[in-house]
């Protein structure tokens, strides 16, 4: 009787462990089985490289959205990576412990703020400021980049700080003993030693930025055209889905799901490189 119960629960635990495998399989199945036939029907070249998105005329080119996603992601990196990494260095190596007890929860709070609140903040604060500065309507690549740059800060800070802390103290002490200042020791010995962890932080940030939806939609302008400059409005792949899914039907809806498949493919590639780097770290 007892061994029956043991085996029964073991089977329960095992099937629970298989849930995440089943979930990924289901997600892949539903995304690809609804998206890939659509891409084939529209034509992979027309779909991925077509520059015109006019669902009413049956023109489904998501090239502008792919470019849009790439631009705001790159912009977010330009804004978020330097600030995030330097903040991580500060937290790990420069911060007095009393300040750390306040700053660390602050970074965690930044991670907890819902993306819709970030989007709202961007809409009512960043957009008007850029309106003043640039003389445009304030929505566009730059605005989205700044907002996304802020949103990926906690991700980058968290992972990079852990990577910096994982570097053996002897590296730092060795540099100090050779007469380097505290700053030089940190930047020339500790940081290079933590570089794969830092790279992992950046890649995780890329994944967050490219997948972000609700905040981008508020500040990017959402025009489905290839952007002409950094101040012009863009629509990301994620925004494309949310904006039109509510009323789309038939091929239009399938094309939106296919957009998500392309996004999903990007994410899978990013995830894969993240886990490869993580494996190399060990």
**Residues in 65-84 at the binding interface with other proteins, rule: CB under 8 A:** 82-84
Of 39-58, which residues contact other proteins (CB under 8 A)?
none
CB of 75 to other proteins, least distance (A): 16
Span from 41-49, 59-67, 91-99, 224-232 in contact with other proteins (CB under 8 A): 91-99
With a CB cutoff of 8 Å and minimum separation 6, the contacts of 120 are 218
Residue whose CB is less far from other proteins, 114 or 192 = 114
> Using CA atoms, how far apart are residues 94 and 168, in angstroms rounded to an integer?
16
CA angle 229, 230, 236 (to 5 degrees): 100
Give the number of other CB atoms < 10 A from CB of residue 191: 20
Instruction: Name the nearest CA neighbour of 53 among 222, 211, 262, 261.
Output: 222
Instruction: Name the nearest CA neighbour of 144 among 262, 67, 235.
Output: 235
Of 4-23, which residues contact other proteins (CB under 8 A)?
5-6, 9-10, 12-14, 16-21, 23
Half-sphere exposure of 252 (CA within 13 A, CB side): 15
Please identify which residue in 39, 65, 167, 257 interacts with other proteins, judged by CB under 8 A: 257
Span from 41-49, 55-63, 121-129, 130-138 in contact with other proteins (CB under 8 A): 121-129
Residue whose CB is less far from other proteins, 42 or 219 = 219
Residue whose CB is less far from other proteins, 9 or 51 = 9
Of 185-214, which residues contact other proteins (CB under 8 A)?
186-187, 207, 210-214
């Amino acid at each position: 009787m007892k061994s029956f119960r043991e085996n029964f629960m073991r089977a329960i635990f095992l099937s629970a462990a298989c849930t995440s495998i089943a979930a990924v399989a289901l997600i892949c199945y539903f995304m690809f089985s609804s998206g890939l036939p659509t891409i084939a029907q529209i034509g992979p070249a027309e779909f991925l490289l077509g520059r015109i998105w006019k669902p009413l005329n049956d023109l489904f080119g998501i090239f502008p959205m792919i470019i849009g996603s790439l631009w705001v992601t790159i912009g977010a990196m330009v804004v978020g990576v330097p600030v995030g990494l330097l903040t991580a260095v500060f937290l790990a190596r420069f911060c007095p412990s009393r300040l750390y007890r306040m700053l660390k929860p602050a970074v965690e709070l930044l991670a907890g703020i819902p993306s819709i609140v970030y989007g709202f903040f961007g809409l009512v604060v960043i957009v008007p400021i850029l309106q003043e500065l640039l003389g445009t309507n304030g929505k566009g690549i730059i605005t989205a980049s700044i907002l996304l740059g802020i949103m990926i800060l906690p991700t980058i800070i968290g992972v990079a700080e852990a990577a910096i802390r994982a570097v053996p103290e002897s590296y730092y002490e060795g540099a100090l003993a050779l007469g380097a200042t505290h700053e030089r020791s940190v930047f020339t010995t500790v940081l290079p030693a933590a570089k794969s962890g830092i790279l992992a932080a950046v890649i995780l940030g890329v994944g967050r930025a490219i997948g972000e939806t609700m905040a981008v939609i508020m500040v990017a302008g959402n025009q489905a055209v290839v952007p002409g400059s950094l101040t012009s409005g863009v629509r990301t792949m994620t925004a494309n889905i949310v904006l039109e899914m509510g009323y789309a039907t038939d091929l239009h809806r399938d094309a939106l799901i296919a957009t998500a498949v392309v996004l999903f493919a990007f994410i899978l590639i990013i995830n894969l490189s993240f886990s490869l780097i993580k494996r190399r770290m060990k």
